[in-house]
Chain A
Amino acid sequence: MRRLLGLCALLVSLVGTAAQAEPAAVLHFGLLAVRSADQVEADWAPVLGALERRLGVKVIPHVSHDYAGVVWALREGRDQLAWLGNLSAIEAVDKAGCHVFARKVYPSGVSGYSSLLITAAGSKLASLDDVFARAGDLTYGRGDTNSTSGTLMPSYYLFSARQVEPHRIFKRVVRASHEENVRAVLDGRVDVASVASDLLDTIARDGKGGVRSLRVLWRSPLIPGDPLVWRNDLSEGLKRQVREFFLDYGVESRGKAAGRLAEEQAHLARLNILRFDASDDGQLLPVRRVELFKDRLQIEASGDLTAEERGRRLDDIDGRLAALSDRGRQ
């Protein structure tokens, strides 16, 4: 009996180690097509090439057209690593078994970015008040549902705070990527759009389009820099190597040749990144809070819920907010 139990234990341990020690022959790196997919892949190719060389494992970029694509790829195990926005990182953490391990530092050295409401420079819209006053005549371009700066920030700060919903007040609401939205504003296809501030910088740096012909009507509070996430089931060794690679990349370090450093920095600059700082899931707390507040406001504003249901949901959100505060203090 004892021997039988021992045999069972051995079998279980063997199966367990077999699952864990899966040789990562290939790593898929999830990327979001904030710009065109080819562009994004081209921009990231040097960095991922370096990672491949460092790990000795084939790293294949996987560009999705929406945040959800990245999250679902992580969730299904198709991707093991990904660079995401804050909001999509929350989904990746909550639903795809990922953790944040690093985040982008902006070229200016700031650790975050903002959401902007932009309009064409020649627009008659001078202020936010103008926008809300004439919303019925305007077309609004918003970002991906899981975009922090394109959707969540304006939802919370611009609309929920005013207890309005975009699709109710605007003549038309369209959804597109940041770059698309910028182009739409420039082309006059939309009157106003919400985009990420760093993207504007990138576009401006690439010298594409007339970014100068844009005017910022509103700027959101700072959003932490876009995080890098990995799947938790990645082997610890790999995790360590990956973290070391990104934290070291574009940074002066012992034994790194000046030429190589410059090269790395040039590669990051193309991505509008200064360097990567270590980070964890905690960086998502402010965004989570914004999201919960936004939900809370929406629930309070919604007319189709019973008082009881509304109370229950508000209690639920309040509980989750309280839990976030506790995590923030830790």
Chain B
Amino acid sequence: MRHVVLRLRRRIGSKLLMAVIPGMLVGTIAMFLAFQQYGHRERIIELNLRLDSFAVSQAATLVRPLWEFDAATVDRAFRGFADVPELLTAEVRSADGAVMAATRGHDTADYSKTFIREKQLIQHSPDGDYNVGRLVVVFHDGLVRREEAQERLAALLVLAGAFVLIATATSLAVRRMVALPLRRLRDSLHQNAAAKTREPLVWEGEDEVGEVVHAYNQLLSEIDQHTRDIHHLAYHDALTDLPNQRLLEDRLNHAIVVAERQRRSIALLFLDIDNFKVVNDTLGHKLGDELIKVVAQRICGALRMMDTVARWGGDEFVILVESVASPGEAASVCEKIIEAVGVPISLGNNLLRIGASVGISLYPEDGADVTTLIKSADLALFEAKGRGRNAFHFYDPAMNTRALRRLDVETALRQAIQTNQLELHYQPKLDIASGRLAGVEALIRWRRPGEGLIPPDEFIPLAEESDLIIAVGTWVLRQACAQVRRWREDGLGDIQIAVNMSARHFRQAKDVDDIIAIVAGAGVPPRLIEIELTEGTVMNDPERAPELMRRLRDHGFCIAIDDFGSGYSNLGYLRRLPVTTLKIDRSLVTDIEHHDDNAQIIRAIIAMGAALGLEMVAEGVENEGQLAVLAKFGCANAQGFHLARPMPLVDLERYLLDKHCRAASCRRDALAPAGVLA
């Protein structure tokens, strides 16, 4: 019951009725009272009229019998009066006040007001008028009251009936025009919410409810559109509008199921734009994004409609090629893509030629599930990158082993720094003319327990893929500083150590500050530390690098350009760099005896270095002939197996002592460096 009442109270129809009914009730009652009052006045007026008419007519009839002393007639008339329902009393008095006739009405119950009329009864006669008496009639309102009571009852019944009718009609109207439409709207809302459908509500009314329904339908379609947009956003990449990782995984999943049933193959291509980072850093993110879009379009253009191209993130794309007949087909797809991407791109004011590397994994050979397939393709990509860019590579299980090893090395290296598994070897650098020591280059070695000594090219590239290289570089610097200081304390004099600095370790001001702080902290004059940078490192950030180098130089550090001549050495640019030393790349030195070209290049480099006042060091000197040519060209210093191999500290110190000793005992020999070196 309570529940029902609450329900009723909650319904809008009931609420409206609750609001309307009291008003109607008050109105009805007011109307009733007004009619009652009006009716009462009318009745009283009528009563008075009847009284007047009664008094006048009875006065007229009574005059004659009174005139004639006809008591019987008067009596009969008065007896008749008693039957008049409104009559309270009637009497006739003579002029001297004596009551000549009187009567009282039969029906005098329940009255509240009386109305009185007096009439002089005049008999007209030729000799004058005679006052034959005075008629006094008193009416009462008993009958009126009774009639009113009856009428009130009837009126109340009629009003109650009308009230019920109007209330019912209002209720029905409200139900039909408001409650029913609202209920349909509500049901539609519930249904759409429950079923997550967006069924519009069919409605024909043009009233406010119709407008609401129209707005509701519009809202539904907007929600629908938004939902689709959100869905699209959730499964697509905002920049390229290509499917994103999620959608790709979904499609790949589906493709796997289909392929499994139909016993077909799938090729998954993992594509990465070569050197995208350089483009991004050089031209800015905006053009980088443009580039991504162009590449996305080109990839799509190179594929069938049914294949899926997804942006994996950054400059990586994953292409799902369904139903491949053979690995060769996948390879030809790759070639098409690489070719398409390789077409020069006009971006802003630049014309770029970029390459792309692709790793390929095949279903079912390289993986039976999404994760494995993607990982395989990723490994294959890594392999492709490692083998020179702008190429594709199929996955093979060995990659996995290598990858695992990479991972293993990375973890172990981190540990190695902490547990002092790393050590420095030193390769002496000699003055060609005097054979004296010009300095040493510190070279890192990893003495891994159980594996022996690991060469740097097995772990440094790996370390360079992450910030691990910074930790390694810092460790090397600290060791070098400590060593310089110890030598000075041991009386071996000032021996300069060259330290290789990775590009990753030479990117921001903080890196340089740290270097300066470490050297200063070690109490070593910075001139005894030579920072070796490769051409690539310097060219990576042509704006920034000179500034960082200048700071080092300002603090007294020596700066060497390593492997000079291996890249596109820009001599003009070199001029603007605060460099102290050029180290000529070993590839140039190797053929110096037989290739006149190389010899001429080295001669030019040496001449140029001399012109710029730079210290020159030839690397990779492996025999006497080379050394002789270099000496002839005027190269000041040399480094190489022919002169001295990289050696542990102990060997180096013995070497130094030996050299010191020899220099002291055979002063003559010192003048013939070739002999010394031999």
Q: Is the CB of A69 within 8 A of B125?
A: yes
Instruction: State the CA gap A305–B69 with chains docked (Å).
Output: 21
Instruction: State the CA gap A67–B67 with chains docked (Å).
Output: 10
Range, interface on chain B:
10 to 19
Q: Is the CB of A64 within 8 A of B130?
A: no
| Set B65, B67, B76: member contacting A72, Cβ < 8 A | B67
Instruction: State the CA gap A67–B69 with chains docked (Å).
Output: 10
Q: Scan A286-313; emit 1 where CB is below 8 A from any B CB, else 0.
A: 0000000001001000001100000000
Q: Is the CB of B130 within 8 A of A62?
A: no
Q: Is the CB of B127 within 8 A of A78?
A: yes
Q: Scan B123-141; emit 1 where CB is below 8 A from any A CB, else 0.
A: 1011110101000000000
Contacts of B132 in A (CB 8 A): 72
Q: Does B70 contact A (CB under 8 A)?
A: yes
Contacts of B130 in A (CB 8 A): 72, 76
| Set B69, B76, B128: member contacting A146, Cβ < 8 A | B69
**Given contact pairs A78-B128, A145-B70, A295-B72, A72 touches B123 in the complex (Cβ within 8 A):** yes
Q: Is the CB of B125 within 8 A of A91?
A: no
Q: Does A73 contact B (CB under 8 A)?
A: yes
Residue of A nearest to B98 (CB): A95
List B142-198 residues whose CB lies under 8 Å from chain A.
Answer: none
Instruction: State the CA gap A95–B67 with chains docked (Å).
Output: 11
Range, interface on chain A:
20 to 34
Q: Does A66 contact B (CB under 8 A)?
A: yes
Q: Does B68 contact A (CB under 8 A)?
A: yes
Contacts of B127 in A (CB 8 A): 62, 64, 69, 73, 78
Contacts of B72 in A (CB 8 A): 295, 298
- Among A68, A69, A78, A145, the one with the most B-chain Cβ atoms within 10 Å of its Cβ is A68
Q: Does B79 contact A (CB under 8 A)?
A: yes
- Whole-angstrom distance from the CB of A306 to the nearest CB of chain B? 10
- Whole-angstrom distance from the CB of A152 to the nearest CB of chain B? 12
Contacts of A145 in B (CB 8 A): 65, 68-70
Contacts of B70 in A (CB 8 A): 145
Residue of B nearest to A145 (CB): B68
Residue of B nearest to A87 (CB): B69
Q: Scan A140-153; emit 1 where CB is below 8 A from any B CB, else 0.
A: 00001110000000
Q: Is the CB of A68 within 8 A of B69?
A: yes
Instruction: State the CA gap A298–B70 with chains docked (Å).
Output: 14
Instruction: State the CA gap A304–B69 with chains docked (Å).
Output: 21
| Set B67, B79, B126, B128: member contacting A68, Cβ < 8 A | B67
Residue of A nearest to B131 (CB): A76
Instruction: State the CA gap A144–B67 with chains docked (Å).
Output: 12
- Whole-angstrom distance from the CB of A131 to the nearest CB of chain B? 23
Q: Does A71 contact B (CB under 8 A)?
A: yes
| Set A71, A295, A298: member contacting B69, Cβ < 8 A | A71
Instruction: State the CA gap A68–B68 with chains docked (Å).
Output: 5
Contacts of A95 in B (CB 8 A): 69
Q: Scan B92-134; emit 1 where CB is below 8 A from any A CB, else 0.
A: 0000000000000000000000000000000101111010100
Instruction: State the CA gap A66–B127 with chains docked (Å).
Output: 12
Contacts of A146 in B (CB 8 A): 68-69
Instruction: State the CA gap A146–B70 with chains docked (Å).
Output: 8
- Among A66, A71, A145, A304, the one with the most B-chain Cβ atoms within 10 Å of its Cβ is A145
- Whole-angstrom distance from the CB of A209 to the nearest CB of chain B? 26
Contacts of B65 in A (CB 8 A): 145
Q: Scan A36-76; emit 1 where CB is below 8 A from any B CB, else 0.
A: 00000000000000000000000000101111110111001
Contacts of B125 in A (CB 8 A): 64-65, 69, 72
Contacts of B76 in A (CB 8 A): 304
Instruction: State the CA gap A73–B129 with chains docked (Å).
Output: 10
- Whole-angstrom distance from the CB of A301 to the nearest CB of chain B? 12
Q: Is the CB of B128 within 8 A of A91?
A: no
- Whole-angstrom distance from the CB of B100 to the nearest CB of chain A? 10
Contacts of A62 in B (CB 8 A): 127
Residue of A nearest to B76 (CB): A304
- Whole-angstrom distance from the CB of B99 to the nearest CB of chain A? 14
Contacts of B123 in A (CB 8 A): 68, 72
Contacts of A64 in B (CB 8 A): 125, 127
Instruction: State the CA gap A64–B125 with chains docked (Å).
Output: 9
Residue of B nearest to A94 (CB): B69
- Among B70, B125, B128, the one with the most A-chain Cβ atoms within 10 Å of its Cβ is B125
Instruction: State the CA gap A65–B126 with chains docked (Å).
Output: 9
Instruction: State the CA gap A115–B65 with chains docked (Å).
Output: 23
Q: Scan B59-76; emit 1 where CB is below 8 A from any A CB, else 0.
A: 000000101111010001
List A74-133 residues whose CB lies under 8 Å from chain B.
Answer: 76, 78, 91, 95
Instruction: State the CA gap A66–B123 with chains docked (Å).
Output: 12
Contacts of A144 in B (CB 8 A): 68
Residue of A nearest to B66 (CB): A68
Residue of A nearest to B125 (CB): A69
Instruction: State the CA gap A250–B39 with chains docked (Å).
Output: 76
Instruction: State the CA gap A73–B123 with chains docked (Å).
Output: 12
- Whole-angstrom distance from the CB of B95 to the nearest CB of chain A? 8
Residue of B nearest to A313 (CB): B75
Residue of B nearest to A28 (CB): B127
Residue of B nearest to A309 (CB): B79
Residue of B nearest to A69 (CB): B125
Q: Scan B241-266; emit 1 where CB is below 8 A from any A CB, else 0.
A: 00000000000000000000000000
Instruction: State the CA gap A95–B133 with chains docked (Å).
Output: 13
- Whole-angstrom distance from the CB of A4 to the nearest CB of chain B? 32
Instruction: State the CA gap A145–B67 with chains docked (Å).
Output: 10
Contacts of A72 in B (CB 8 A): 67, 123, 125, 130, 132
Q: Scan B76-101; emit 1 where CB is below 8 A from any A CB, else 0.
A: 10010000000000000000000000
- Whole-angstrom distance from the CB of B83 to the nearest CB of chain A? 10
Residue of A nearest to B123 (CB): A72
Residue of A nearest to B75 (CB): A313
Instruction: State the CA gap A95–B126 with chains docked (Å).
Output: 21
Instruction: State the CA gap A95–B127 with chains docked (Å).
Output: 20
Residue of B nearest to A67 (CB): B68
Instruction: State the CA gap A270–B127 with chains docked (Å).
Output: 26
Contacts of B128 in A (CB 8 A): 78
Instruction: State the CA gap A303–B348 with chains docked (Å).
Output: 136
Instruction: State the CA gap A329–B649 with chains docked (Å).
Output: 194
- Whole-angstrom distance from the CB of B457 to the nearest CB of chain A? 152
Residue of B nearest to A90 (CB): B69
List B425-479 residues whose CB lies under 8 Å from chain A.
Answer: none
Instruction: State the CA gap A316–B79 with chains docked (Å).
Output: 18
Instruction: State the CA gap A73–B126 with chains docked (Å).
Output: 12
- Whole-angstrom distance from the CB of A303 to the nearest CB of chain B? 12
Instruction: State the CA gap A66–B63 with chains docked (Å).
Output: 14
- Whole-angstrom distance from the CB of B295 to the nearest CB of chain A? 130
- Whole-angstrom distance from the CB of A26 to the nearest CB of chain B? 14
Contacts of A295 in B (CB 8 A): 72
Instruction: State the CA gap A64–B67 with chains docked (Å).
Output: 13
Instruction: State the CA gap A66–B72 with chains docked (Å).
Output: 18
Q: Is the CB of A91 within 8 A of B79?
A: no
Residue of B nearest to A37 (CB): B126
Contacts of A91 in B (CB 8 A): 69
Contacts of A68 in B (CB 8 A): 67-69, 123
Instruction: State the CA gap A195–B529 with chains docked (Å).
Output: 182
Q: Is the CB of B79 within 8 A of A304?
A: yes
Residue of B nearest to A71 (CB): B69
Contacts of B79 in A (CB 8 A): 304-305
- Top 5 closest A-B pairs, CB basis? A145-B68, A68-B68, A72-B130, A91-B69, A68-B67
Q: Can you report 14 A-B residue pairs in the complex whose CB atoms are below 8 A from each other?
A: A64-B127, A65-B125, A68-B67, A68-B68, A69-B125, A69-B127, A72-B67, A72-B123, A73-B127, A145-B65, A145-B68, A146-B68, A146-B69, A298-B72
- Beyond the given pairs A65-B125, A68-B68, A68-B123, 14 more chain A to chain B contacts, judged by CB atoms under 8 angstroms and listed by A's residue number, are A65-B126, A67-B68, A68-B67, A72-B123, A72-B130, A72-B132, A73-B127, A76-B130, A78-B127, A78-B128, A145-B65, A145-B68, A145-B69, A146-B69
Question: What residues make up the interface of A, taking CB atoms closer than 8 Å to B?
Answer: 62, 64-69, 71-73, 76, 78, 91, 95, 144-146, 295, 298, 304-305
Question: What residues make up the interface of B, taking CB atoms closer than 8 Å to A?
Answer: 65, 67-70, 72, 76, 79, 123, 125-128, 130, 132
